[in-house]
Amino acid sequence: MRGLAQALSIPNDTTAKAIAMTDSFDTQALRDHFAHCVQVLGGTAAASRRLDIDERAIRRFINAERPLSAQLLQDTAAALHRTIVDATAAEGVITAAFAAQSDKA
């Protein structure tokens, strides 16, 4: 996963911690953004599968019962990227199918 994080230009642990501590992106804002990312991934159950962590743990991260780690955020970013790749491929199949139908008409 580390190689993928670097390829995606995801900040290393030190940088991510520094970002979390800045005034412009405080801990609550980061937690709110993580909650948004969970929804983008399809909700708690889908995010649990994609991140390979327990649904209860995800809820605890969102509810500030557990601290967000730089690794969790890197893994979330990587899961979002995989989702983008999957969605783009699915869109390509649909577009190609409609293009093929219009060529026959």
Residue 93: DSSP 8-state: H
pLDDT band at 102; cut points 50, 70, 90: confident
Q: Is the pLDDT of residue 57 over 50?
A: yes
Once rounded to an integer, what is the mean pLDDT over residues 74-85? 98
| pLDDT value of position 37 | 98
| Rounded (10°) CA dihedral 63, 66, 70, 72 | -70
pTM (two decimals): 0.70
CB of 31 within 8 A of CB of 64? Answer: yes
Q: How far apart, in whole angstroms, are the C-alpha atoms of residue 26 and residue 93?
A: 41
Query: For the chain, which residues make up each domain, given as ranges?
Result: 2-104
pLDDT in tens, 11-30: 555 455 545 444 456 899 99
User: 10 Å Cβ neighbour count for 68?
Assistant: 18
